Amino acid sequence: MSASNQHGDRSASSRHGGRAVPGVPGRTTGPAGPAYGSSAGRAQVPVGGRAGNQYGGPPRRPRPRWGRIALVGGVALVVLALLASGGLWAYARGLDQDLGRTDPFSRITQGRPPAAVDGALNILLIGTDSRDPDAPVDQAGKWRADTIIVMHIPSSHDRAYLVSIPRDLYVPIPSDAAAACETGERAKINAAFAWGGLPLAVRTVECFTDVRINHVMSIDFAGFVEVTDALGGVDLTVEQDTTSIHKPYRQFSEGVNHMNGAEALDWIRQRKQFPDGDFARMRHQQEFLRALMDKAVSSGTLSNPVKLNAFLKATTQAVTVDQGFSLVDMALQFRKLRGENLQFLTSPHNGSETINGESVVVSDREKALSMYQAMAADQMTAWVQANVTPSPGASD
């Protein structure tokens, strides 16, 4: 896709002034024609998962009420790399069979970015939250992507770059997962999941970044809690005394807090109490993922078979991946990857603006284009060295 129709072009011609579509917040018609949310467009595209639809396998267990959040998938890969170095292939194969499967790529049939570099991998970590907690996970229009991260592993397989995409980033969303990138309209990127499930979410991220997605991974909220608890909780730094906006209204004290799964989940969902709002939420997610990674690969976990098994079982029960994803292959390819080799970034942006009456995040078009071109060309290390000021825990 050309640079003129991606990365948050703010020209007047790029904005739609359509009317709202009932039942789908933020959804509008185009300047002419039917609503893209109609049954002719998106309703037939189910959300990926384990519910036995055309993109997933047979049901495995009921979905937890609070959906999925893709924050800990990379942890399992690093631990499995350590298992591979110990020759525990049979165990890894057993875990592979426990994974939920979905097929987010079958509808993406034209205009996909080519795989520019052999060996480099891009994994879309995507999690969702429901506006209706009791809504079926495969019901389009009831779910929004709460977390979107592109995990880029260069061909050297010794580092990983995790790029958080703000869920309110204003981007072009194709009219359908099988449609050309230029179709559709601009909206917040998290709407793509609501309108067309995982297939449209993948298509939208590929159209925005011009980077080919190789694999997709998601994890549910219940799994989030179980994985954290299996590790005995994590230590997270709270920058200010904070009262949760969610029941039971927990109090988080400034300083280092040891949190179990439910507490950590609550903490990383907070955003309204911070001046930078959703960017604080993303920062806390990144800090949690780093803490979880450090705990997972610590000697206390790896040397304790019971704790290690509980962690890995909890992770594989929570995670849903694409049909081509193989834990055995990933463990082999990532055997050099360690927790300290993760670098967290945020998709370059110019902050928030009001467009068509709603607050959205506007991409820094030139810098984002430069970064994603480097990602596609397997030049992320050089790009980061030239554009990111080194600092522990940097997220921008």
Q: What is the pLDDT of residues 37-63, one digit of tens each?
A: 322 333 333 333 323 333 333 333 333
- pLDDT score at 55: 33
What tokens were used for 66? 């609070």
- pLDDT score at 226: 84
- CA distance linking residue 371 with residue 69, whole number of Å: 25
Say yes or no to pLDDT of 223 above 60: yes
Say yes or no to pLDDT of 104 above 80: yes
What tokens were used for 16? 């739609």
Q: Among 62-71, 83-92, 207-216, 340-349, which is the least confidently predicted range?
A: 62-71
Q: Among 52-56, 125-129, 384-388, which is the least confidently predicted range?
A: 52-56
In terms of pLDDT, which residue wins out, 73 or 135?
73
- pLDDT score at 41: 32
Quick check: 37 and 20 in contact, CB under 8 A?
Answer: no
Q: What's the residue count for the chain?
A: 396
Q: Among 184-188, 189-193, 274-278, which is the least confidently predicted range?
A: 274-278
- pLDDT score at 130: 46
Quick check: 285 and 266 in contact, CB under 8 A?
Answer: no
Residues 218-232: what's their mean pLDDT?
A: 78
188: pLDDT confidence band, cut at 50, 70 and 90? very high
- Look up residue 29 and give its amino acid: T
In terms of pLDDT, which residue wins out, 240 or 21?
240
Spatial neighbors of 242 by CB under 8 A, at least 6 apart, are 251, 252, 267, 270, 273
152: pLDDT confidence band, cut at 50, 70 and 90? very high
- pLDDT score at 295: 83
Say yes or no to pLDDT of 25 above 90: no
Residues 354-366: what's their mean pLDDT?
A: 93
* Averaged confidence pLDDT in the chain: 74
Quick check: 323 and 97 in contact, CB under 8 A?
Answer: no
pLDDT in tens, 287-341: 887 788 778 777 677 778 788 888 888 888 778 889 998 877 776 677 666 667 8
Spatial neighbors of 217 by CB under 8 A, at least 6 apart, are 70, 73, 123, 124, 125, 126, 319, 320, 321, 322, 325
- pLDDT score at 312: 83
Q: Whose structure tokens read 């924050």?
A: 71
Three-state SS annotation for the chain: CCHHHCCCCCCHHHCCCCCECCCCCCCEECCCCCECCCCCCCCCCCCCCCCCCCCECCCCCCCCCCCECCCCHHHHHHHHHHHHHCCCHHHHHHHHHHCEEECCCCCCCCCCCCCCCCCCEEEEEEEEEECCCCCCCCCCCCEEEEEEEEEEECCCCCCEEEEECCCCEEEEECCCCCCCCCCCEEEECCHHHHHHHHHHHHHHHHHHHCCCCCEEEEEEHHHHHHHHHHCCCEEEEECCCEECCCCCCCEECCEEEEECHHHHHHHHCCCCCCCCCHHHHHHHHHHHHHHHHHHHCCHHHHCCHHHHHHHHHHHHHHEEEECCCCHHHHHHHCCCCCHHHEEEEECCEEEEEEECCEEEEEECHHHHHHHHHHHHCCCHHHHHHHHCCCCCCCCC
- Look up residue 23 and give its amino acid: G
- pLDDT score at 234: 92
- pLDDT score at 1: 45
- CA distance linking residue 20 with residue 23, whole number of Å: 9
Residues 369-383: what's their mean pLDDT?
A: 96
| DSSP β-ladder status, 100-102 and 319-322 | parallel
In terms of pLDDT, which residue wins out, 372 or 140?
372
Say yes or no to pLDDT of 361 above 80: yes
In the chain, where the domains are located: 34-232+307-387
User: Is CATH 3.30.420.590 correct for 34-232+307-387?
Assistant: yes
What tokens were used for 376? 């596609």
- pLDDT score at 88: 65
73: pLDDT confidence band, cut at 50, 70 and 90? low
pLDDT in tens, 158-178: 889 999 999 899 999 999 999
- pLDDT score at 391: 54
129: pLDDT confidence band, cut at 50, 70 and 90? low
Say yes or no to pLDDT of 155 above 70: yes
β-sheet bridge partners, residue 238: 255
- CA distance linking residue 374 with residue 22, whole number of Å: 40
